[in-house]
Amino acid sequence: MTDLTVSIAQHYHERTKYNPETIKTKQQPLDWSQQPVPFKEYKIGVPVDLKPYLTDNPTAFDSDPNSIWWQRLSRLLLCSYGLTGKVVASGSSHYLRAAPSAGGLYPAELYLISRGTPLLPAGLYNYQAYTHSLIHFWESDVWTKLQAACYWHPVLENTQLALVTTAVFRRSAWRYHDRAYRRICLDTGHLLGNLELACALTDYRPHLIGGFIDDAMQQLLYLDAEQEGAIAILPIADLLDVKQNLSLARTALPAATHFEYPAIPDGQMLGYLHQATQLPLDTTVKVNWKPTATSAQRADKYNFPFCLKVSTLSPPIDWGSQLEQLETTLLQRRSTRAYSGEALTFEELIALLDFTYQHQHYIDQGLDGSPDYFDVSLVETFIAVSSVTGLEEGCYYYAPKTQELRQIRFKNFRQELHFLCLWQDLGRDAGVVLFHTADLKTAIAAYGDRAYRYLHMDAGHLGQRLNLAAIRLGLGVSGIAGFFDDQVNEVLGIPIDEAVLYITTLGRSAER
Ligand SMILES: Cc1cc2nc3c(=O)[nH]c(=O)nc-3n(C[C@H](O)[C@H](O)[C@H](O)COP(=O)(O)O)c2cc1C
């Protein structure tokens, strides 16, 4: 098929839209006995138990540098992707993690690559969330291969450890079919959000790499290409080592844009898109890793003459001395299952926005004022306000540079939001429903079809900041990745070029 106007990423997006006409006929009943296990098992390898380093007492290891080192790593992994909850249903246990996941399916796996440190011998490790341990499944030095796979990214010259997130596609595709790729990238984005903040707690700085040679990473981690793919790489710089306070580098590299592709049957779109958005296996490519200035400088995208404009300037959320409230929040976060319908206050809403988008306000508290995204300037925010005391109902554009809400429609959309969120009550009963969107054409012009991955990961990353801010403020929150795509734009008046990436609902939990 050749369509010179629609690239494969746009085609995938169109093909995986939910539509009220077709959704009922497309959905098949789930056979829960077929659900893939969300944990990876290794038959061989040396386990490294991280549980002994978990303690409520932060000073417990003060005198032993080795124990402190292990404690940092143990906390980092627990706060990012460790098990933090358990649900028992029909006699079987279902474990919940620090990062949320669409449907609780956890397609993401987390690997650690060591260059070889005094405490962590060189090689490949998989994080085994179930036992909170690492399994050292490959004992040779692979750092040079990692550098080559990342086109010699400068941060890898000076770091010793790197995390890699992969996705086991079937864990999510089993339920969500082709649309699962969107959720896989959103889930990964949430995990990246946790990693960013858990690193701040443990004196690491994660440097995000989205531009890597997919095939090389596949081989390096011994992944079965049909089943699992690398999604993001994060060298973690140790901030306690002065040589590892490193300059920022580019996070996203462009890939090809494919306008020629065959007729792809249902059920094969996910695999096809993942393959089509890979970067080429050519380690001689010279990349200029200097961050591009333009993306940071882009102005607020939408301004509407004569619309209601409301400043969102807010005092920052307080994460406690030494960020201890951040750690508690990471470990206690849960998605809300039902809202009471009660209003949020305006102060709560603007505090949520402040933490999510105004990173520079959190430097004093020890957070990164400029954490890595792929290109967050491509992601826009629209907010449907159903019930916020002190703010008119309606749909607003959030202007992050000016820090204001700009109203685009004035109406209470509760009933419409119920429908748009596939009749999920969370959409109807939330005080606020927030939409992350992007112009796919513009993003693809900048990054090729790989933009599709970057956009969904950035939207998930922002979603996780909203999640954590909401929990800290005692509010309810849940992501929603199932929605009637085109109808969102029509009903709420969001410009038609903005593809909806993700929804976050916010409200007062009915479960308190
Ligand atoms: C990308 C994404 C999409 C989600 N979509 C929905 C949704 O449509 N409806 C819903 O009730 N929950 C949704 N959730 C919440 C998950 O069901 C929840 O994260 C999961 O059950 C694990 O529970 P926890 O978040 O409390 O740890 C979503 C979460 C993520 C990360």
What pLDDT, in 10s, does the model give residues 99-128?
999 999 999 999 999 999 999 999 999 999
Residue nearest (by alpha carbon) to ligand 1 atom 7? 480
What per-residue confidence (pLDDT) applies to 3?
Answer: 61
In a domain, residue 301? The reply is: yes
Which helix (H) or strand (E) is 436 found in, with range?
Answer: strand 432-439
Q: In the structure, what pLDDT confidence band is assigned to residue 512 with cuts at 50, 70 and 90?
A: low
Provide the whole-model pTM. Answer: 0.97
Do 421 and 486 fall within a single domain?
A: yes
Q: How far is the CA of 102 from the centre of ligand 1 (A)?
A: 4
Q: Which residues, 6+ apart, have CB-to-CB distance to 25 below 8 Å? A: none
Number of domains making up the chain: 2
Range of the domain at 434: 295-507
Q: How far apart are CA 280 and CA 216, in angstroms?
A: 9
CA quadruple 74, 78, 81, 85: dihedral sign = positive
Give the angle 390-392-398 at the CA atoms, nearest 5°.
Answer: 95
Which of 247, 276, 305 lies at the terminal end of a domain, its last residue?
A: 276
- For residue 270, is it within any domain? yes
Query: Band of the pLDDT at 181, cuts 50, 70, 90?
Result: very high
> Is the confidence at residue 304, as pLDDT, over 60?
yes
Ligand 1, from 95, 478, 502: best to mutate by most atoms within 8 Å of Cβ?
A: 478
Mutate to test the pocket of ligand 1, among 480, 500, 502, 509 (most ligand atoms within 8 A of CB): 480
More confident residue, 25 or 160: 160
Say if residue 450's pLDDT is above 80.
yes
Would the pLDDT of 59 be above 80?
no
Judged against a pLDDT cut of 70, whether residue 295 lies above it is answered with no
Please say if the pLDDT value at position 276 is more than 70: yes
Span 299-304, average pLDDT: 94
How much is the pLDDT for 57? 67
Q: Whose CA is nearest to atom 29 of ligand 1?
A: 102
Give the pLDDT confidence of 199-258 residue by residue, as tens digits: 999 999 999 999 999 999 999 999 999 999 999 999 999 999 999 999 999 999 999 999
Instruction: Inform me whether the pLDDT recorded for 25 exceeds 60.
Output: no
Q: Which two tokens stand for residue 155?
A: 């941060």
Residue 296 predicted with pLDDT over 60 = no
pLDDT at residue 5 in the model: 84
Residue nearest to atom 28 of ligand 1 (CA): 102
484 CB-near residues (< 8 Å, 6+ apart): 17, 18, 19, 20, 23, 419, 420, 422
Residues 319 and 251 in one domain: no
Residue 282: DSSP 8-state: -
CATH classification of the domain holding 128 = 3.40.109.10
- What integer is the mean pLDDT of 181-189? 98
Residue with tokens 């429908």: 419
359 and 247 within one domain: no
User: What's the rounded Cα separation, in Å, for the pair 44 and 339?
Assistant: 46
**Which residue has a Cα nearest atom 6 of ligand 1?**
480
Query: Do 256 and 308 reside in the same domain of the chain?
Result: no
Ligand 1 — pocket residues by CB below 6 A?
Answer: 96, 100-104, 183, 186-187, 190, 334-335, 424, 426, 478-482
pLDDT at 89: 84
Report the run of H or E that residue 502 belongs to, with start and end.
strand 498-507
Instruction: Output the CA 34–ligand 1 centroid distance in Å.
Output: 20
**Does residue 512 lie in a domain region?**
no
At 63, the pLDDT band (50, 70, 90 cuts) reads confident
Mean pLDDT taken over the chain? 95
Write out the two tokens for 234. 């994060």
Alpha-carbon distance of 445 to 216, in angstroms, equals 25
d(CA 187, ligand 1 centre) in Å:
9
Whether the CB-CB separation of 103 and 179 falls below 8 Å is answered with: no
Integer Cα distance of 358 and 28 in angstroms? 42
